[in-house]
Structure 1
Amino acid sequence: MANRVQAKAQEIAREDYDKAKAVLSASVKSGSYLYPFRGILYFFTHKALWRPFLSRLLPTIGLAVGVTTTMFFFTYLPQLGILVFVDGPLAVLTTVLLVLNESSTIVNILARNYLLEDAILDTFDGTLVARNATGVVSEGRQLQSGSDPIARLGKILKNPFSKFTPKALIRYVMYLPLNFIPVVGTIIFITLQGRTRGKSVHGRYFQLKNWSSSQQRDWLQQHNGPYTTFGTVATLLEMIPLISTFFVFTNTIGAALWAADIEQKNTDMAVGTAPNLREAAKKAE
């Protein structure tokens, strides 16, 4: 009996290892982890994309400073008092990471829904226009003539990114206890946040492509590793105090660059059957 249980446990462990290995391999092959950094470089080399960022800079910095300061003042010591029992001396660091993550989550919820929505939309669409993906952008908004990618953006024909849902907040709170596991728990927590973040980075792209919910779900499941990797890197960058808003915009640019490469078939993720073709094949069966 004990041997059978041990053999089954080893079989499950091998399956999980193979799955993790496949996900990691797909992530590395896709290069998705590089796009947040490519977004930073692209931002600095394309001044036209600065305008949406600069237009929201001061109010968002004020929000970030206020939220982060308040969170450290009221929650750092209580959470440190709990984590010190499981993390020991490392609790000083893990608590900082936890509070930063909590602060960035609050700032992102408030900023994305009340301060940055239009600016982020313009940044994403403008980056696609800068990369000559005007065909897909024209599905969601009118485009003017000219060479300035932001100035070319006209009337929005489709509603922008979906609003924050209570489900995301509930999931965030559910995962918070993972931080009580020394070091590894914090890493898992950030990775899970990255997975959630990754699922939303191409919301606008999917909308422009007119993909149904099932098509989006199919695509995200097929490329879970790359999107989780992008989301994790983006989450870590947006946890940096005071300049998190800057990374919100550069991550948006990175996501748009990634979408442009998928659209132009310059990424390994574009290899294979597209969601709409798979759906058509299913209907034909």
Structure 2
Amino acid sequence: MGNRLAERAQECSCCSKEDYDKARVLLNDAARSGSYWYPIKGIFYFAAHPALWKPLRSKLAPYLTLYSGVLGSMFFFTYLPQLAVMAVVNGPLAVFTTALLILNESSTITMTISKNYILRDAILDTFDGTLVARNSTEIVSQGRELKPRGDSIDRLGKALKAPFKKFSLNKLVRYVIYLPLNFIPVIGTVVFVVLRGRSRGDAVHDRYFQLKGWSKSTRSQWLKDHQGPYTAFGTVATLLEMIPLASVFFSFSNTVGAALWAADIEAKEVEMFKSTAPELRETAKKAE
């Protein structure tokens, strides 16, 4: 019996060390990549380029209408039940924490619906428009027609490749499963944000992968190899989109940030190809 307990304790110790090492590697990768800065860069770039505001402006009225309906329904139907639970955890502060929780829930529900229907094309145009603004027109042309004149949005023509995938039930189920973590003060909220950030990060470059023509297996391998940077980006993006009322703005600025990151990745690939191409040609000549 004693030997079994000792063996199990040793196994747990090994697992804990392995998990710690994995977490350390992910954190190091995230820190070196600087991916967590791209949502912040997206805010400033979006603010400095009025042409990129056009897709958001065109969808703002229907979004606000949907948000008002969801918010009113959530307060009417769920405030008192959630207040009863939060009162056990937060005491007198439950009145405020419940209101903040409902604001966050309403924002999430609204964004989940609107991103798949109301805002889908607008977000697509914002991503492609940002790439055009960064002179990454070659890759954009792989997925849509481009006009010769106009600003970064006016140049966008008909999409040649299907836009982002539609509603994902799995993501909504995950959100509902993770939601109770918020009832655990501080630590629970941190875990909730990181878990959502990881899921959010996996989707930020869906359009980029689509333009590159990558297969599902290639995307999965890329995300696995760069899990730390994508989780870092997703976590910062999630925190910004959790801000009530401003979430729609940050959803677009995060899209801009993701496109800026994609443009930098693409630029590095092109630069790498340019630097290695002469060497390859020289090797080929020698082989002849």
TM-score, L = length of structure 1: 0.86
Q: Report the residue type matching 2:183 in the other structure.
A: F
Matches within 5 A, 1:150-169: 150-169=153-172
Given the superposition, is the C-alpha separation of residues 85 and 6 from structure 1 closer, same or farther in structure 2, using an over 3 Å criterion?
Answer: same
Q: Which residue of 2 aligns with 1:253?
A: 256
Given the superposition, is the C-alpha separation of residues 87 and 18 from structure 1 closer, same or farther in structure 2, using an over 3 Å criterion?
Answer: farther
Matches within 5 A, 1:122-201: 122-201=125-204
1:115-159 Cα shifts (integer Å, max 9, x gaps):
111111110000000111111100000111125111111111011
Q: Could you tell me how far 1:176 is from its partner in structure 2?
A: 2.4
Q: Could you tell me how far 1:88 is from its partner in structure 2?
A: 4.8
Unaligned runs of 5+ in 1: 267-285
Conservation of the 8 A alpha-carbon contact between 1:94 and 1:186: no
Q: Which residue of 1 aligns with 2:27?
A: 24
- Point out 4+ residue stretches in structure 1 off by more than 6 angstroms: none
Given the superposition, is the C-alpha separation of residues 87 and 223 from structure 1 closer, same or farther in structure 2, using an over 3 Å criterion?
Answer: farther
Which secondary structure state, in structure 2, belongs to the residue aligned with residue 148 of structure 1? Answer: coil
Q: Could you tell me how far 1:45 is from its partner in structure 2?
A: 1.0
Matches within 5 A, 1:2-151: 2-88=5-91, 91=94, 95-151=98-154
Q: Percent identity?
A: 60
Which secondary structure state, in structure 2, belongs to the residue aligned with residue 200 of structure 1? Answer: coil
Q: Which residue of 2 aligns with 1:274?
A: none
Looking at structure 1, the residues matched to 28 and 100 of structure 2 have their Cα atoms a distance apart, in angstroms, of 27
Q: How many residues align?
A: 266
Which secondary structure state, in structure 2, belongs to the residue aligned with residue 56 of structure 1? Answer: helix
Conservation of the 8 A alpha-carbon contact between 1:48 and 1:148: yes
Unaligned runs of 5+ in 2: 270-288
Looking at structure 1, the residues matched to 261 and 79 of structure 2 have their Cα atoms a distance apart, in angstroms, of 37
Looking at structure 2, the residues matched to 93 and 10 of structure 1 have their Cα atoms a distance apart, in angstroms, of 41
Conservation of the 8 A alpha-carbon contact between 1:61 and 1:245: no
Which secondary structure state, in structure 1, belongs to the residue aligned with residue 157 of structure 2? Answer: strand
Looking at structure 1, the residues matched to 95 and 191 of structure 2 have their Cα atoms a distance apart, in angstroms, of 18
Q: 2:192 aligned with 1:224, yes or no?
A: no
Conservation of the 8 A alpha-carbon contact between 1:238 and 1:245: yes
Q: Could you tell me how far 1:84 is from its partner in structure 2?
A: 3.2
Which structure would you say has the larger Rg? 2
1:82-140 Cα shifts (integer Å, max 9, x gaps):
13334556655654553233222211122112211111111000000011111110000
Which secondary structure state, in structure 2, belongs to the residue aligned with residue 142 of structure 1? Answer: strand
Provide the alpha-carbon RMSD of the alignment. 2.0
TM-score, L = length of structure 2: 0.85
